[in-house]
Structure 1
Amino acid sequence: MSDTLVEFRQDIDSGLAQLSIRRRYWLLAVACMDVSIVIASMVALNAALPDIARQTTATQAQLTWVIDGYTLVLACLLLPAGAIGDRYGRRGALLTGLAVFVLASAAPLMFDDPPQLIAARAVAGAGAAFIMPATLSLLTAAFPKSERNKAIGVWAGVVGSGAVFGFLITGGLLHFWAWQSIFAAFALAGAGLFVLTCTVPSSRDDDAAPLDWIGAILIGVAVAVFVLGVVEAPVRGWTDPLVWGCMSTGIALAAAFTVVELKRRHPLLDVRLFRKPDFATGAVGVTFLFFANFGYFFVSMQYIQLVMGYSPIQTAIALCPLMIPVLALGATTHLYLPRLGLRVCVSLGLLVIAAGLMCMRLLQLDSTYLDYTWPLVIISIGIGLCTAPTTSAIMSAVPDEKQGVASAVNDTTREVGAALGIAVAGSILAANYQNHLGPKLSGLPAEVREPLLSSLAEALAVVGQLGPEGTAVGQLAKQAFLDATNSALLVMAAVLAVAALFVGVWAPGRDGAQLRVVRRLRSQETPQPDDRSWQWSRAGRGW
């Protein structure tokens, strides 16, 4: 292994275009390992929150920010971090991110007060913001276009299954050690990945323009404020002034960012890219894919643990079937995407996920693991069908020298979609749980009803104190939770169906043409000579 590393190191500055096949795939392996630690860290602490609460006396609000602080900082720094990588070197940005991530992950081993945990997680999110776009932009710069879809597919498959990987890490560590072991594992893994990353070549924009700091600040604050409003929505309610004020301010700042970028000579992000059907389809597809993905995880993990009675490690193992179709379809993207086209892949994938969510509504209180698994496989097939094609569409629409910014757009839409999915699913779940259970507890004292209506987890913790009627109340709470979960699944499925309709109308097909072009041709309207979609159609070529 050491000889191989030395060989890679000797050719570190030779340029990505001259990389051999072996070196390109070594880069792919390292990039996938680097991005997997970012995704795993995003979800790994969820199962450890009860232990953290007991040992640190953290409040529910503080526990929420232990999770959301990482996501918030990650989301708002992605675009500036991607631009910095394009200008100064993507490997340098990746190594910087890993170093920050390692230090922030090691901090909770020495400082464990809730505010210190939140600060450490926020700093880890800043490091992750430099890691995530750099991994993908290095791949797209290293692989020729003939092999790029294959590399992006593998990368996207790792990202799509990274959450399950994070659950497995958490479940395994908590089965043997305390919650601090999670941070120790991430620190050690990050240090090892830092060493491996030193062996891969770098790339950058050779004609680097000055960084657009005004645009970076505007979009960073816009994303941060918008996501802040979204993550507070399940707790405060969507009509709370802080929630709608933050979301409105975020949208207004995003509009200001658009105006500023249109006027700048060297914009951080050329917003005209969203006029391109493939770029817009990729951004919309990624947003709603992760909206459904993380919204589903939010309600499903509670069902597995609270209704089916699984432990954290059993929950992680139960979700493992999700990884197989996602990884398989990601690795074979280069085989089916040119044949089916972006429109079919993404719209069909979103509809398959929606169908899987509807099948999940068939679960009952006494459902078996087999009853749970077959809808999970349907969902994972849908995720696999649209994860890699959407990412490939975004990256292919942008010049090679701007791959860091394109990757950051891909990652930002993921984070915003994930935050929206959790917020929407959480809000629907909380409201419907109380609506279903409240009328059935009218005979109980207020001091007993309050914890029962707070959440299913709290309800199951207090039913043992209710005497003989505790079992019946526990069943009522579980049924109310199941009914509320079905409402959340229905809404998410409906949203995905609307997104699939948009993709079906707007996205380019296998020949690069949109549906509106097809309708025009069928009406025998003569195309203009410079109409690229007509030329692609005549040539019979894909994107």
Structure 2
Amino acid sequence: MRTERTHTRWWALGALSFAELLVMIDNTIVNVALPTLARDLGAGISGLQWIVDAYTLVFAGLLLTGGYLGDRFGHRRMLLTGIVGFMGVSVLAASSQDIGQLIASRAGLGVFAALVFPATLAIITTIFVDARERAMAVGIWAAVSGVAVAIGPVLGGWLLEHFSWTSVFWVNIPFGVLALVLILAVVPGTRPLAVPRFDAVGVVLSVAGLGLLTFTLIEAPHVGWTEVRTILGVVAALVILSVFVTTQLRIAHPILDVRLFANRRFATAAGMISVAFFALFGFIFLITQFFQAVKGYGPLAAGIRTLPFAIVMAALSPVAMALSHRFGPRVVSVIGAFLMSGGFALVEISSRASGYWELIVWSMALMAAGLAFISGPCTQLIMDALRPEQAGAGSAVNDTTREIGGTLGVAVLGSILTSAYVAGVGERLSDGGLPAEAVDAAKQSVMAGVEVADRLPGAMGDAVQVAVQQVFMDGLHNAVWAAVAITATAGVAAAVLLRGSGPGSQAAADEVDGGALRGERKGSEIEGEIPAGTA
């Protein structure tokens, strides 16, 4: 019986990882389709950013709610509901006729993804009760999260090579059906023993605060950081989040136990994951455009060239968890931050002529290694600080750090690139004597600039293409400098703030920083044949 239950538990991990893969791939599967969407739907750079960020914005804003609903109504129930809804909205996205419909559909996908993602980690932490097995399971889950983001462009590129851009959404239907079958077959249902009162106020405040803050930060580079709209948006978001924190401290069953952030290791680990995914999402947004606009690769060729990221991430994630167990998460995550910073620093010496195997693949390998060293160990730090009945909301905090970090990575790094590109290409093409209409068209995006060059005859077209690509590289270098600084700063901060989180010290550290937070552990039941604690 024990062997049967053990096998079932690991089969369940496989099913949950596939469901996680389904929603995480959508973060980046559209990236290689951006040039096609710019052409077919007439989207400029801002529109392209919103195609990516509408999904992650809503995803991030509703993750706390998704985790809380799972705690209240059962994680498997929310998981199944999310997958069915995700499939339904995918049909709407594939049927979009203009940029507005597509952005709205991407936002709808984010709603249902927010039900799926926290449920996967919450169920994993419930059915894996042995500390060593749980660490391994969480490491696999974290690896799938990173790998999914990296292989999104590969799958998207293959689909675009054979079908239209709508295929990146139609593919969710067969994947969703397979996920439903696997979950119904091997994943046990969960329900809390004591169902707390629904925190409707907390849900509304968390959605409003996180949504407004993320929206304002995304739009700020476009409307200006010193504009009244930006300042009021940030202030209003902070006020809402302050009210959210105050109410969470006063009620008996909050959607989020904000006292967890008094635990230095919990808060630092959440911040590290946010920084890592900030860098990852931002880099993939930039590099897929580099491959197509500068190197001239098609969607599939561009996607395949991001595959080493996924391979390195998958290979090193179990290594990272083993090293974390041996040396502690502090050492491993600090090394990870500096590996990511080093990978971005390599991009700074790249040029239009840089070869893929001579430079780019090595920078991606360093970034992937860094992400593997941060993601698993820091996820384990977060989940170790949670009581069982906090599994859904707590895992949602972990997930929220990923999505908010990724959303801001696309917004901030993309906007730094955009600012440099728009100013630089306008100046260089105007000086070259091009008509104002051609210059304005080239400003829309780097792919639009390449298309303008392709329409011009002979030497003039070549000169415009060189100018467009060079200005893009200038913007890329500017954006990457921000990533170098942020990841390096995170490494220094983790070295200081994760003191005491070495091997064998977590229990004592929790007593110092978070012992009062953990409280009396309450069990949970598993509906079906696999009871909690014996699965």
With normalisation by structure 2, the TM-score equals: 0.88
CA distance, structure 2, for counterparts of residue 27 and residue 104 of structure 1: 26
Is the Cα contact below 8 Å between 1:69 and 1:118 reproduced in 2?
Answer: yes
Q: 1:503 aligns with which of 481, 494, 504?
A: 494
Q: 1:386 aligns with which of 359, 365, 374?
A: 374
CA distance, structure 1, for counterparts of residue 173 and residue 183 of structure 2: 15
CA distance, structure 2, for counterparts of residue 436 and residue 62 of structure 1: 20
CA distance, structure 2, for counterparts of residue 265 and residue 234 of structure 1: 40
After superposition, give the CA deviation of every residue in 1:144-167 in whole Å (9 maximum; x if it has no partner).
222111001111111001122221
CA distance, structure 2, for counterparts of residue 418 and residue 384 of structure 1: 16
CA distance, structure 2, for counterparts of residue 431 and residue 461 of structure 1: 20
Give the counterpart letter for 1:41 in structure 2.
Answer: D
Superposition deviation, residue 234 in structure 1? 4.0
Q: 2:403 aligns with which of 415, 420, 423?
A: 415
Superposition deviation, residue 429 in structure 1? 1.0
After superposition, give the CA deviation of every residue in 1:472-519 in whole Å (9 maximum; x if it has no partner).
2321221221122112111111111111111111113315669xx9xx
CA distance, structure 1, for counterparts of residue 346 and residue 95 of structure 2: 46
Superposition deviation, residue 462 in structure 1? 1.0
CA distance, structure 2, for counterparts of residue 23 and residue 310 of structure 1: 44
CA distance, structure 2, for counterparts of residue 206 and residue 297 of structure 1: 43
Superposition deviation, residue 436 in structure 1? 4.2
Aligned residue in 2 for 1:536: none
Superposition deviation, residue 430 in structure 1? 1.7
Superposition deviation, residue 457 in structure 1? 1.7
Is the Cα contact below 8 Å between 2:256 and 2:393 reproduced in 1?
Answer: yes
Cα pair distance change 1:176/1:258, threshold 3 Å: same
Superposition deviation, residue 406 in structure 1? 0.9
Cα pair distance change 1:454/1:58, threshold 3 Å: closer
Q: 2:20 aligns with which of 11, 32, 35?
A: 35
Deviates more, 1:423-432 or 1:128-137: 423-432
Aligned residue in 2 for 1:303: 290
What are the equivalent positions in structure 2 for 1:524-539 lying under 5 Å apart?
none
CA distance, structure 2, for counterparts of residue 116 and residue 480 of structure 1: 31
Deviates more, 1:69-78 or 1:129-138: 69-78
CA distance, structure 1, for counterparts of residue 284 and residue 309 of structure 2: 11
Cα pair distance change 1:359/1:276, threshold 3 Å: same
What are the equivalent positions in structure 2 for 1:165-314 lying under 5 Å apart?
165-199=151-185, 200-314=187-301
Q: 2:7 aligns with which of 22, 25, 40?
A: 22
Superposition deviation, residue 45 in structure 1? 2.1
Is the Cα contact below 8 Å between 1:205 and 1:402 reproduced in 2?
Answer: no
Aligned residue in 1 for 2:60: 75
Which consecutive residues of structure 1, in runs of 5 or more, have no partner in the other structure?
1-10, 12-16, 518-529, 534-543
Cα pair distance change 1:297/1:56, threshold 3 Å: closer
3-state SS of 2:191 partner: coil
Bigger relative contact order (CA 8 A; separation at least 6): 2
CA distance, structure 1, for counterparts of residue 286 and residue 92 of structure 2: 31
In the alignment, is residue 125 of structure 1 matched against residue 110 of structure 2? yes
3-state SS of 1:203 partner: strand
Q: 2:470 aligns with which of 476, 479, 491?
A: 479
CA distance, structure 2, for counterparts of residue 300 and residue 237 of structure 1: 25
CA distance, structure 2, for counterparts of residue 339 and residue 325 of structure 1: 21
After superposition, give the CA deviation of every residue in 1:309-353 in whole Å (9 maximum; x if it has no partner).
111111111111111221122234442112121211112111110
Aligned residue in 2 for 1:4: none
Cα pair distance change 1:315/1:236, threshold 3 Å: same
Superposition deviation, residue 62 in structure 1? 5.3
Is the Cα contact below 8 Å between 1:233 and 1:427 reproduced in 2?
Answer: no
Superposition deviation, residue 471 in structure 1? 1.2
Aligned residue in 1 for 2:306: 319
Is the Cα contact below 8 Å between 2:49 and 2:411 reproduced in 1?
Answer: no
In the alignment, is residue 447 of structure 1 matched against residue 433 of structure 2? no
Cα pair distance change 1:478/1:443, threshold 3 Å: closer
CA distance, structure 1, for counterparts of residue 479 and residue 418 of structure 2: 10
3-state SS of 1:204 partner: strand
3-state SS of 1:165 partner: helix
Superposition deviation, residue 207 in structure 1? 2.2
After superposition, give the CA deviation of every residue in 1:217-269 in whole Å (9 maximum; x if it has no partner).
10111111111112223433333433343233222211111111111121111
Superposition deviation, residue 297 in structure 1? 1.2
After superposition, give the CA deviation of every residue in 1:404-462 in whole Å (9 maximum; x if it has no partner).
11110011111111111112111211222344445444352433433334432222111
Aligned residue in 2 for 1:373: 361
CA distance, structure 1, for counterparts of residue 309 and residue 94 of structure 2: 32
Is the Cα contact below 8 Å between 1:101 and 1:127 reproduced in 2?
Answer: yes
Superposition deviation, residue 305 in structure 1? 1.2
Q: 2:448 aligns with which of 458, 462, 483?
A: 458
Give the counterpart letter for 2:139 in structure 1.
Answer: G
Aligned residue in 1 for 2:527: none
CA distance, structure 2, for counterparts of residue 164 and residue 501 of structure 1: 26
Superposition deviation, residue 465 in structure 1? 4.0
Superposition deviation, residue 37 in structure 1? 0.7
Is the Cα contact below 8 Å between 1:101 and 1:128 reproduced in 2?
Answer: yes
Aligned residue in 2 for 1:135: 120
Aligned residue in 2 for 1:522: none
Percent of aligned pairs with the same amino acid: 34
Aligned residue in 2 for 1:159: 145
3-state SS of 1:44 partner: coil
Cα RMSD, aligned residues only: 2.5
Q: 2:419 aligns with which of 431, 434, 442?
A: 431
3-state SS of 2:496 partner: helix
Cα pair distance change 1:512/1:227, threshold 3 Å: farther
CA distance, structure 2, for counterparts of residue 194 and residue 331 of structure 1: 27
Is the Cα contact below 8 Å between 2:72 and 2:195 reproduced in 1?
Answer: yes
Is the Cα contact below 8 Å between 1:204 and 1:401 reproduced in 2?
Answer: no
Cα pair distance change 1:109/1:357, threshold 3 Å: closer
3-state SS of 2:253 partner: coil
Give the counterpart letter for 2:470 in structure 1.
Answer: Q
Aligned residue in 2 for 1:520: none
Give the counterpart letter for 1:85 in structure 2.
Answer: G
Cα pair distance change 1:280/1:196, threshold 3 Å: same
